[in-house]
């Protein structure tokens, strides 16, 4: 799964979203991915992703859901 996530990550930060002026990555959730696995692949905390995306239930990610991954 990490291989798939790393392939989806752009080579350089190219997305700004989340908090005003924040830079990072956009990640599209794939089947079987968990928040903790996504966080590990981008070397950020799950808490940072939860806060940046205002996720109410981190156990309920949807396939195709776009997440902002802060740097």
Confidence of residue 22 (pLDDT cuts 50, 70, 90): confident
CA–CA gap between residue 50 and residue 38 (Å, rounded): 11
| Any domain includes 68 | no
Q: Is the pTM value of this prediction over 0.85? A: no
Does 68 score more than 80 pLDDT? yes
Q: What is the CATH number of the domain that holds 16?
A: 3.10.350
| Any domain includes 14 | yes
| Any domain includes 69 | no
Nearest to 28 by CA among 45, 12, 41, 43: 41
Sign of CA dihedral 41, 46, 48, 53: positive
Confidence of residue 30 (pLDDT cuts 50, 70, 90): very high
| Any domain includes 40 | yes
Domain count, the chain: 1
| Any domain includes 70 | no
CA–CA gap between residue 71 and residue 61 (Å, rounded): 20
Q: Domain limits at 19?
A: 2-61
Angle between helices 46-53 and 35-42 (to 10 degrees): 110
Q: What is the pLDDT of residue 13?
A: 45
Does 44 score more than 70 pLDDT? yes
CA–CA gap between residue 34 and residue 11 (Å, rounded): 22
Q: What is the pLDDT of residue 34?
A: 97
């Amino acid at each position: 799964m990490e291989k798939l996530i790393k392939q989806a990550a752009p080579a350089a930060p190219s997305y700004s979203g989340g908090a005003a002026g924040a830079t990072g990555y956009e990640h599209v959730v794939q089947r079987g991915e968990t928040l903790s696995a996504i966080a590990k692949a981008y070397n950020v905390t799950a808490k940072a992703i939860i806060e940046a995306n205002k996720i109410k239930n981190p156990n309920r990610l949807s396939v195709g859901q776009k997440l902002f991954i802060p740097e």
